[in-house]
A and B are shown apart, each in its own frame.
Chain A
Amino acid sequence: MGDQPENGQKVGDNRPSLKLHVPEPKFRPGDTVDYSHLAVTKPGEQPRPDEACAPVETNPLTVDLVRVLGDDDKAHGPWDPRLSPDQLRAILSDMALVRAFDERMYRGQRQGKTSFYMKCTGEEATSVAAAHALASDDMVFPSYRQQGILIARGYPLTEMINQIYSNRADKLKGRQLPIMYSSREHSFFSISGNLATQLPQATGFAMASAIKGDSQIAATWVGEGSTAEGDFHSALTFAAVYNAPVIFNVINNQWAISSFSGFAGAERTTFAARAVGYGIAGLRVDGNDVLAVYAAQRWAAERARTNNGPTLIEYFTYRAEGHSTSDDPSAYRSAQEREEWPLGDPINRLKKHLIALGEWDEARHEALDAECVDRVKKATKEAEKNGILGHGLHHPFRTMFEDVYEELPWHLKEQAEQAVHEREVKFPGGLPK
């Protein structure tokens, strides 16, 4: 055998020693940021295949970057969705509202009104513009940073805040972590804390719709870090096998808490390129370019709607804030990362585009921001009447036993009685409820 040394050494002693590669992000706190390795493509230069094309035709686009808005603030190329100024202003308005909402809720958490919050600063386009590109009843299976979809679909802010405060008006009865909304009325699926579980579920929903000959498609959102979960691969396999009318939106915001995208495999290929091996269409898109996001989502929706199958879209973006209110990004990444992010801020880019079109100005934008702050403030005050977390105005505690099963089984009846008894011992006066 060729691997056996002749001098009596162990088998393998004459082979090179192996080394484990552990990914490391390019910059850490204090480092100077240099984004020259990012291939920021020229807007308008990416081809736009027909929605009914074979998946393989999209392969070049999985390593490219679809962009529409240029540094000249104008729209370029075949991916320009040619939205009217009214449509652009509607998207801008929703994004501004999301940002105002995030600001206020972040402060609310710091003031102790709730336990937890997650901002989507810098990523607003990936949910708001995508939601505008879908039909209002297309079923969405979001992750935890898609508050923009609810806002775009007109879900009342007060309901969102009731949920975040887990108060007595929270229609999820105070059971879910703040920001884990659910609204069947708005075709918005209940959010899970277990990552990527929504991907097979969205696929199943889309398959069910196809089984019944319905016209409703499904779209789902997942962070780039969560693409490492087995559910991601199960979902893509099922979607490909059954040609399910589903859209997989991968939000590559570069960071999964403190783990950079390299720990999900980003050093080797793009996330959009994951589509290639499954034989489904894939697009890699500038996630901070509202027009590109809208166009890509619209393309995928049209493809799903016409039975041409699933699409995986990677939105290349940047998580400008911490992962959540329990996170301190300055402990693991350079402060300059956000400042120098080469794809800019999605709201600012859209604002400048509208101004360049002569359809917007700074004064109107200031007025919009002020109006958003006011709307959120009013909604917050309204929600606070129903209580904030931990101040007693929560759902009656018997609701703890509801909805585990459709009907209360004997053991839960016994436990509910114990809970009632404990309340009577603890609060002989009968309060709180």
Chain B
Amino acid sequence: MSADLKTETAEAGERRFNMIEAINDALDIMLERDSDTIIMGEDVGYFGGVFRATAGLQEKYGKTRVFDTPISECGIIGVAVGMGAYGLRPIPEIQFADYIYPGLDQLISEAARLRYRSAGEYIAPMTVRSPFGGGIFGGQTHSQSPEAIFSHVAGLKTVIPSTPYDAKGLLISAIEDNDPVIFFEPKRIYNGTFDGYYDKPVQPWKKHKDSVVPEGYYKIPLGKARIVTEGEAMTVLAYGTMVHVAEAVCREKGVDAEVIDLRSIVPVDIETIEASVRKTGRCMIVHEATRTTGFGAELSALVQERCFYHLEAPIERVTGFDTPYPHSLEWAYFPGPVRIGEAIDRLLKE
């Protein structure tokens, strides 16, 4: 990646990355390691992507490894299925998760089921990267969180990092995985962490412990959650941007919460969830996506089925509202400190 995008190192020998830089680093490593990996998508080539995730990669690996595509998500995903059948490992980028819908049939009916329907003769080992979620005043068409749609499809995996360190390790695992993986990148925290207060800027990653990213290749397994903070009073299940918001609110309120970053929602780390809720007896689920039939509903059902007799209070779901993302009222839509704080109060009152 070009030098001007690198974060300055805080200490000698230590590399501190923004999430977007960590993603770029992971892509760089995987292009280097395996000539069968290719990157394609709108604007990913010469320009390096609208968020700069692929900056410098076309220059380094050439135009047949990293290239722009027509504005056709159906084409991007469909072509990637055919490339997978050939033996390549495509990494298509969908510029915003909101644009993924024209490619849904190829993802849901084709990529997800190719292994099954051909009894393993053909596979679609692709990693579909896409920035998702709000927080950049992108209006209703640049802010959505469609992860629940994919969680409902047998054959797909859905991965969502929340730190630069995780983003690199999870992306490398996703690219090496032989199943199609949807890799949703929380764009609000591409360049810093976010505590949920819209009137404050994001906090630069520089000082965050998870911005220290080791050189070279490392993997974080898919389906394994991360315990962000250990605690006894309640369990918080979150992913992406909401990990940071929920953690900040718990910290501010002085709650001894066990905050769990799910990292992937399919497969979800049921062991970690179950052990934590059995220990704390209280569970709050936080996601930015709309509430009804969101992935929080699945998490809530899983916790209820497996931990009911350990629960001291009803499970709390803190989510976005069931409306499209409003441009000017983004700050009011977002599940921020007030909504989370009140849910914490309700949980602890019981």
Q: Does A209 contact B (CB under 8 A)?
A: yes
Minimum C-beta distance from B124 to chain A (A): 9
B72's contact among A172, A238, A411, by CB below 8 Å, is which?
A238
Minimum C-beta distance from B247 to chain A (A): 26
Q: Does B246 contact A (CB under 8 A)?
A: no
B105 close to A208 (CB less than 8 A): no
Identify which of residues 204-245 in chain A touch chain B, using a CB-to-CB cut-off of 8 Å: 204-212, 218, 230-231, 233-235, 237-238, 241
A residues near B114, Cβ cutoff 8 Å: 190
- Shortest Cβ distance from B87 into A: residue: A208
B118 close to A172 (CB less than 8 A): yes
A194-B105, A203-B79 as given contacts; A410 in contact with B270, CB under 8 Å: yes
A192-B110, A194-B105, A409-B223 as given contacts; A207 in contact with B117, CB under 8 Å: no
**Alpha-carbon distance A141/B114, docked complex (angstroms):** 13
**Alpha-carbon distance A190/B155, docked complex (angstroms):** 16
A205 close to B85 (CB less than 8 A): yes
A234 close to B119 (CB less than 8 A): no
Q: Does B233 contact A (CB under 8 A)?
A: no
A172 close to B119 (CB less than 8 A): yes
Minimum C-beta distance from B37 to chain A (A): 11
Q: Does B178 contact A (CB under 8 A)?
A: yes
A204-B78, A235-B75 as given contacts; A194 in contact with B88, CB under 8 Å: no
Q: Does B69 contact A (CB under 8 A)?
A: yes
B75's contact among A176, A218, A237, by CB below 8 Å, is which?
A237
A190 close to B117 (CB less than 8 A): yes
B116 close to A404 (CB less than 8 A): yes
**Alpha-carbon distance A209/B79, docked complex (angstroms):** 12
Minimum C-beta distance from B305 to chain A (A): 11
B267 close to A200 (CB less than 8 A): no
Q: Does A295 contact B (CB under 8 A)?
A: no
A409 close to B117 (CB less than 8 A): no
A residues near B157, Cβ cutoff 8 Å: 405
Q: Does A107 contact B (CB under 8 A)?
A: no
Q: Does A152 contact B (CB under 8 A)?
A: no
A171 close to B119 (CB less than 8 A): yes
A200-B81, A237-B70, A238-B70 as given contacts; A182 in contact with B86, CB under 8 Å: no
**Alpha-carbon distance A54/B190, docked complex (angstroms):** 46
B residues near A409, Cβ cutoff 8 Å: 223, 266-267
Most chain A C-beta atoms within 10 Å of own C-beta, residue among B106, B115, B117, B155:
B117
- Shortest Cβ distance from A177 into B: residue: B117
B82's contact among A172, A192, A202, by CB below 8 Å, is which?
A202
Minimum C-beta distance from B262 to chain A (A): 14
B residues near A182, Cβ cutoff 8 Å: 117-119, 121-122
B residues near A205, Cβ cutoff 8 Å: 82-83, 85-86
B residues near A173, Cβ cutoff 8 Å: 119
- Shortest Cβ distance from A233 into B: residue: B72
A residues near B271, Cβ cutoff 8 Å: 410
B80 close to A410 (CB less than 8 A): no
A197 close to B109 (CB less than 8 A): yes
B75 close to A189 (CB less than 8 A): no
A403's contact among B74, B75, B85, B116, by CB below 8 Å, is which?
B116
B116 close to A406 (CB less than 8 A): no
A residues near B79, Cβ cutoff 8 Å: 200-201, 203-204, 207, 238
A208-B86, A208-B88, A218-B82 as given contacts; A184 in contact with B122, CB under 8 Å: yes
Q: Does A26 contact B (CB under 8 A)?
A: no
Q: Does B44 contact A (CB under 8 A)?
A: no
**Alpha-carbon distance A141/B85, docked complex (angstroms):** 11
**Alpha-carbon distance A83/B135, docked complex (angstroms):** 66
A411 close to B267 (CB less than 8 A): yes
**Alpha-carbon distance A201/B105, docked complex (angstroms):** 12
A403 close to B115 (CB less than 8 A): yes
**Alpha-carbon distance A85/B157, docked complex (angstroms):** 54
A173-B119, A182-B117 as given contacts; A200 in contact with B109, CB under 8 Å: no
Identify which of residues 209-239 in chain B touch chain A, using a CB-to-CB cut-off of 8 Å: 223
18 further contact pairs, Cβ within 8 A, besides A204-B83, A238-B70, A238-B72: A172-B117, A180-B117, A190-B114, A197-B105, A197-B106, A200-B81, A201-B85, A204-B78, A207-B83, A208-B86, A218-B82, A231-B78, A231-B106, A237-B72, A404-B115, A405-B157, A409-B266, A410-B267
In the assembled complex, 16 residue pairs joining A and B whose CB atoms fall closer than 8 Å, in A order, are A173-B119, A176-B117, A190-B114, A200-B79, A200-B106, A211-B38, A230-B102, A233-B72, A234-B74, A238-B72, A238-B75, A403-B119, A403-B120, A404-B154, A410-B270, A411-B270
> Which 4 A-B residue pairs are closest in the complex by CB-CB distance?
A200-B78, A204-B82, A234-B75, A204-B79
Residues of A within 8 A of B (CB): 139, 141, 171-173, 175-176, 180, 182-184, 189-190, 192, 194, 197, 199-212, 218, 230-231, 233-235, 237-238, 241, 403-406, 409-411
